[in-house]
Amino acid sequence: MKVLISADMEGVTGVTFPDDCEPGHARWEYNRRFLTADVNAAIAGFAAAGATEILVNEAHADQRNLLLDRLDTRATLLIGTHKPLGMMEGIDRSPDAVAFVGYHTGAGQPGVLAHTYLPNTITAVRINGEPASEGRMNALLADEYGVPVVLVTGDDLCCEDARDWAPHAAHAVVKTCVDRYSAICLPPEVSAARITEAAREGLAALPASGGPTAPPAEGYTYEVSFDAAHLAPAASYIPGVVQTDPLTVRFTLPTMYEAIRCFRALTRVVTSAVENCYG
């Protein structure tokens, strides 16, 4: 039984403010322990449910945040930047299940540190008309590989959002959103117990694999909106990305594999056009 854990940081225990998860800040250094603890709690639950191989894909920012010397020895760690599939690197290694630990809601949605890939800049992402967090797009990619999502951890609004795109997964709420930069947080020992139990339950209830899911006949249409009018023209430098209004672009690709890679390229291009003061 092989499990892939995609580990983000904004949704882990105690993290509520940008400095808490921004590499280089003292608060980030402090909260790396909680990121590692939440991941370890998930590993413990999966191991209890019979997982024999657990791969953790570090998925936050430069993807070098987890503390390897504190990682549960029943897992291995895929760490480092510039991975071809980013947050979902490892989904092509035939896991039986995937878990999203430390996730959050998407750009323009309520939730602690809500965003989609970029901290601000992107104000909304829709896939085939549905609001899309990182969780939704990653779940669609997992579905294309035939891998079910069995666990989602994060704040209460992230787990509520996940009931739509991962309805059969177990959910572990580690904090309750007050606003984008504050939350009512559980002590680490309490959230760890919740995560371990949810991981155990989620893997124990693993549905029989129906194999990869075929993409919809119309493919996947992304609509991405920005907070400044110079960004949509910059995004349209990518072939197939079309500006539809001053703040929005659209593109359609036949598979989620292609669509998510195009979206990641779009974020890189747009980032290059963002200035420090006016964005």
CA nearest to 96, candidates 256, 201, 200, 208 = 208
Q: Which of 25, 115, 168, 171 is catalytic?
A: 115
The confidence score (pLDDT) of residue 211 equals 81
Contacts of 189 (CB under 8 A, 6+ apart): none
Model pLDDT, residue 240: 98
Judge whether 197 is annotated as a binding position: no
Q: Is 168 annotated as a binding residue?
A: no
230 as an active site residue: the answer is: no
Q: CA 100, CA 154: separation in Å to the nearest integer?
A: 9
134 is in an annotated binding site: yes
Q: What is the pLDDT of residue 59?
A: 97
Distance CA 238, CA 233 (A): 10
Three-class secondary structure of residue 46 per DSSP: helix
Instruction: Please give the Cα distance from 188 to 179 (Å, whole number).
Output: 21
Segments in the chain below pLDDT 70: 209-210
Non-local (6+) Cβ contacts of 22 within 8 A are 28, 61
Residue-wise DSSP of 224-267: EEESSTTHHHHHTTSTT-EEEETTEEEEEESSHHHHHHHHHHHH
* Model confidence pLDDT, tens digit, residues 184-208: 999 999 999 999 999 999 999 997 7
8 annotated ligand binder: yes
